[in-house]
Amino acid sequence: MDLSSLKPAKGSIKSVKRIGRGQGSGRGGTSTRGHKGAQSRSGYKSKAGFEGGQMPLQRRLPKYGFTNNNRIEFKAINISALVELAEKIGITTITLELLVEHGLASSKARVKVLGNGTLTSKLDITAHAFSKSAVAMIESNGGSATKL
């Protein structure tokens, strides 16, 4: 046995359909395309979403909703995550640069601090926005919430 004696398994290779090679082939004439109509012509390609002249789905359904192009999206960070970070590093002041450095926010993200979690020590936090509960929690422990 050598490389020259290798053959594909029996039945695994099918011969190509030779279309449009005369009447004797059994696939001449219309070349398996049926009679007349756009699909029998060369260059036929249906449009995306075309449903044969029936009103297409994207036109049957009504438009709805509104997208505000001027909205400002914030990266939400809970106080519990900030407390965990402060304890891990051993600091009391948290800035945006520190959050970016430790992977809690990207450098271009606008950060909003949310009040989920418990705060027991003083923390001075600088961010773009704060929820009311977060500000109340930070200030009740003697810290400061500074907006940029």
Helix, strand, coil tally for the chain in percent (to 5):
25, 15, 60
Three-state DSSP at 5 gives helix
74-147 architecture in CATH? Ribosomal Protein L15; Chain: K; domain 2 (3.100)
Phi, psi of 77 (to 5 degrees): -130, 125
In the chain, alpha helices (H) = 57-60, 79-89, 96-101, 132-140
What does the pLDDT profile of the chain (148 residues) look like in tens digits? 799 999 999 999 999 999 999 999 999 999 999 999 888 999 999 889 999 899 999 999 999 999 999 999 999 999 999 999 999 999 999 999 999 999 999 999 999 999 999 998 999 999 999 999 999 999 999 999 999 8
**Sheet with 144-147, edge to edge strand ranges:** 93-94, 124-127, 144-147
